[in-house]
Amino acid sequence: MAGGGSAGADPTGRGAMSGVGRYAPRRLALIGGLLAAWPTLHALLPDGLPAGVVLQGVVLGSLTGLSAVGLVLVYRACRIVNFAQAALGSAAGMLATQLFQQRDWNYYAAFAMGVLVAALVGALADKLVIQRFFWAPRLVLTVASIGLAQILSGIEMTLPSMFGGGGPLGGLSGGFKTPLDVQFTLSPLLFKGAHVQVLILVPVVLALMTLFMRRSAVGVGIRASAANAERAMLLGIPVRRLSTVVWAVAAVLSALSAMLAAPLIGSGSGFTSGPGLLLPALAAAVLARMESLPRAMLAGVGVGIFQQAVFWNWSRASLVDVGLLFAILLGLLLQRDKLSRSDDALGASWSAAGETPPVPTPIARLPEIVWGRRLMYLAVLALAVVIPNSMSPSQISLLGSVTLVYAIVAVSLVVLTGWAGQISLGQFAIAGLGAVVAGDLVSKTGADLLFSLIAGSAAGMLVAVMIGLPALRVRGLFLGVTTLAFAVPLSTFVLNPANFGDLIPQQVERAVVLSRFDLHDERTLYYFCLVVLILALVCVTGIRRSRPGRSMVAVRDNERAAAARGINVSRTKLAAFAVSGALAGLAGGLHAVVLDGVRAGSFVPAMGFEAFSMVVLGGATSLGGALAGAVFLRYAQYVMTGGLQMIVTGAGLLFVLLVLPGGLAQVVAGLRKRVFIVVARLRHIELPGAAGGEPPPDSTEPPAQIEEALVGA
């Protein structure tokens, strides 16, 4: 509940969040326009837009609207994009389902328990996580919500096994059915009690929300805090306690959406609160400009109608994700100025991890320092070389070669996020496109593997630059939304064999490289991947030491100061996206070779969260830390089940943000500094800041990286 609003905002928050009176004429005009457009759409669409399909869209869209309202509520209160919104209530919804199915609880008792548990989860999330980052940069808190989402999603995945159940929702006969016994037909669809329940409960929930926000003292306090948290605190409003209420309400809305949707989703489906489920609510919230609760609900209904219209006419759910991508881009670009000012005011740059300081000049050329560093590199390389000797062929492939592929993706994110400050949640989707290009060249044209990998890298570079173009206008928190919006349709539509079966290389034959190295042997393939990773590290290290690399860091630290010193900010950002995309595409090409093809589920959207998590775990600015994060993540995936692995990864991410903002690299940096101090004492050399640490830089001076970037390579 921190850092929000302008200095001159209304301290009472009147009208800050409800928007009931101010926007009513606009909403009525919008609804009227949509009703007028309905006959036209019915005539133009291949199978029309029957009234039953529209009502189905209203039913499911109202549930999307509930999640969107939760997103807007948290954004208005805390100024973050809450990537855990869908997960906040999904675990509680899963608990209610299991109580109903496995423990034979009454439906309404299980439903009430789900709501109560969701409120408790939201309150605990605020107390244990959000409050710890009360005054932190908003982008750091947004990253924390990713860790929170992973933990809650992992809990959701483990609940059915804890209760002895089969599938999350439809694995048992009966499902989470409402006892409301009523049905009617609106051509061409049959509506049952679950649909009627949504049509009754959602308006009731919205009415209660409106009364709560406009009439209660707590609601007025929340609106005032959303307008200006600091000023509200000076007026005696308990901002921190109200933050807990906001998160509890958001979790309840998420749980209601999940539980009401349970009987409507269908057999075999689950709550699974991943990026794909979050995207429709994000689109609705963005279309509502992240500020109006009624508008978010209306946008959610519109998204639901759009989804059902696509299902009815083309029977391809993945087309919806493409439409949501354009909706999010349009919504963000139309309000880019407001959002950019908000990000600037809230310090939304990625600043959780600092650069590793150079070796102090007085000891930099000492033999023990120079040779110690060389021996350390040789030791790490020797370990990487001998590891396959203790593994079986399957372990070499899944735990060795795939880990090296993940490491290349981690390196690409260090360039983009750690050095350039551009958050990306779609890195594995870019890798997927590189895998398709490289795999097609190898399997369908018989092209040389090295040429195919270069082509996959070039494809990744091109797509990354296209994704980076919105970054020139949309910054900070909402760049993560943009990259996620790209990642979901890339994974569900473009990389879907059901849509492009002829283009997806589901079988890639391994090659003999340079007529000597047979990649059919797992150990040889591992060493080939290791060589590619080393070459990638050499290239990005050279970039970091050159003027382009210093320019990236300067833009990350202060865009305005960098531009004032003559650095082309737009070109620097696109260069970072290009280098990062090339590495991701290269990793994707290797991935296709290691796993002998590209199949459905090889590059799911949730992998974008995993990739970002492993870089933050290792240290966003450190290449060595990113490699350690990749090893940790891949090992966790290998030895743990899906749910437990997500819990461990999410908990590790939160631990790093709370305790080690620099990630695992921060621990290494501390040990490194101790070694420097010991060496200096043995050599009787005095190091500046050795006793009390380095003095803090003068915040009034421009960052040193800007000065470095202006020096020629």
Chain centre to alpha carbon of residue 547: 30
Question: Which amino acid makes up residue 619?
Answer: G
Say whether the peptide bond before residue 188 is cis (omega within 30 degrees of 0).
yes
Residue-wise pLDDT for 539-559, tens only, equals 999 999 999 999 998 888 888
Q: For 1-26, what is the mean pLDDT?
A: 46
Say whether the peptide bond before residue 548 is cis (omega within 30 degrees of 0).
no
How many Cβ atoms from other residues are within 10 Å of residue 691's Cβ? 8
Where in the chain are all domains bearing CATH 1.10.3470? 364-705
Predicted local distance difference test score (pLDDT) of residue 339: 52
Burial string for 88-108 (b: 16+ CB within 10 Å, else e) reads bbbbbbbbbbbbbbbeebebe
Sequence-separated (6 or more) residues with CB below 8 Å from residue 33: none
Q: For 298-320, what is the mean pLDDT?
A: 88
Predicted local distance difference test score (pLDDT) of residue 529: 95
| Separation between Cα atoms, residue 17 and residue 227, nearest integer Å | 9
Tokens of 187: 């051509």
Q: Does residue 516 surpass a pLDDT of 80?
A: yes
Closest-CA residue to 298 (of 82, 538, 490, 31):
31
Residue-wise pLDDT for 91-129, tens only, equals 898 899 889 988 889 999 999 999 999 999 999 999 998
- pLDDT category of residue 300 using cuts at 50, 70 and 90: very high
Highest-confidence segment of 75-79, 509-513, 542-546 = 542-546
Contact (CB, 8 A) for 152 and 91 = yes
Looking at residue 31, the DSSP 8-state letter turns out to be H
Predicted local distance difference test score (pLDDT) of residue 500: 83
- pLDDT category of residue 702 using cuts at 50, 70 and 90: very low
Residue-wise pLDDT for 387-439, tens only, equals 998 899 888 988 889 999 999 999 999 999 889 888 888 899 999 999 999 99
**Residues forming a β-bridge with 517:** 513
- pLDDT category of residue 333 using cuts at 50, 70 and 90: confident
Say what percent of the chain tops pLDDT 90: 32
Predicted local distance difference test score (pLDDT) of residue 701: 42
- DSSP string of 42-90? HHHSTT---HHHHHHHHHHHHHHHHHHHHHHHHHHHH-S--TTHHHHHH
Q: Does residue 344 surpass a pLDDT of 90?
A: no
| Separation between Cα atoms, residue 667 and residue 657, nearest integer Å | 13
Predicted local distance difference test score (pLDDT) of residue 556: 85
Pairing of strands 184-186, 517-518: unpaired
Tokens of 667: 């621990």
CATH placement of domain 364-705 = 1.10.3470
- pLDDT category of residue 509 using cuts at 50, 70 and 90: confident
Question: Which amino acid makes up residue 56?
Answer: Q
- Higher-confidence position of 585 and 609: 585
Predicted local distance difference test score (pLDDT) of residue 224: 72
- pLDDT category of residue 4 using cuts at 50, 70 and 90: very low
For residue 605, the SS3 value is: coil
Sequence-separated (6 or more) residues with CB below 8 Å from residue 71: 81, 82, 85, 250, 281, 282, 285, 290, 296
Reported as type and span, the H/E element at residue 114 is helix 107-128
* CA dihedral for 132, 137, 141, 146, sign (positive or negative): negative
Q: Does residue 371 surpass a pLDDT of 70?
A: yes
Q: Does residue 446 surpass a pLDDT of 90?
A: no
Q: Does residue 168 surpass a pLDDT of 50?
A: no
Say what percent of the chain tops pLDDT 70: 84
Return the minimum-mean-pLDDT range out of 40-54, 163-177, 269-283, 672-686: 163-177
Residue-wise pLDDT for 192-228, tens only, equals 999 999 999 999 999 998 888 888 888 787 777 766 6
- DSSP string of 200-224? HHHHHHHHHHHHHHHHSHHHHHHHH
Question: Which amino acid makes up residue 365?
Answer: R
Predicted local distance difference test score (pLDDT) of residue 252: 95
E-assigned strand segments in 128-259: 184-186, 189-191
Q: Indicate the average pLDDT of the chain.
A: 82
Tokens of 379: 């030791």
- pLDDT category of residue 159 using cuts at 50, 70 and 90: confident
- pLDDT category of residue 26 using cuts at 50, 70 and 90: low
Predicted local distance difference test score (pLDDT) of residue 233: 73
Predicted local distance difference test score (pLDDT) of residue 231: 72
Predicted local distance difference test score (pLDDT) of residue 228: 66
- pLDDT category of residue 12 using cuts at 50, 70 and 90: very low
Question: Which amino acid makes up residue 445?
Answer: T
Q: Does residue 166 surpass a pLDDT of 60?
A: no
Predicted local distance difference test score (pLDDT) of residue 633: 85
- pLDDT category of residue 174 using cuts at 50, 70 and 90: very low
Predicted local distance difference test score (pLDDT) of residue 608: 85
Return the minimum-mean-pLDDT range out of 26-35, 174-183, 334-343: 334-343
Closest-CA residue to 136 (of 339, 424, 338, 350):
350
The percent of the chain in helix, strand and coil, each rounded to the nearest 5, is 70, 0, 30
Question: Which amino acid makes up residue 661?
Answer: P
Predicted local distance difference test score (pLDDT) of residue 517: 86
| Separation between Cα atoms, residue 710 and residue 310, nearest integer Å | 52
- Higher-confidence position of 19 and 479: 479
Q: Does residue 351 surpass a pLDDT of 70?
A: no
- pLDDT category of residue 336 using cuts at 50, 70 and 90: low
Return the minimum-mean-pLDDT range out of 13-27, 365-379, 595-609: 13-27
Closest-CA residue to 485 (of 326, 274, 325):
325
Q: For 28-53, what is the mean pLDDT?
A: 78
**Residues forming a β-bridge with 191:** 184
- For the chain, the first-to-last Cα distance in angstroms comes to 44
- pLDDT category of residue 656 using cuts at 50, 70 and 90: confident
**Residues forming a β-bridge with 184:** 191
Predicted local distance difference test score (pLDDT) of residue 25: 64
Q: Cα angle at 624 between 619 and 629, to 5 degrees?
A: 55
Q: Does residue 269 surpass a pLDDT of 70?
A: no
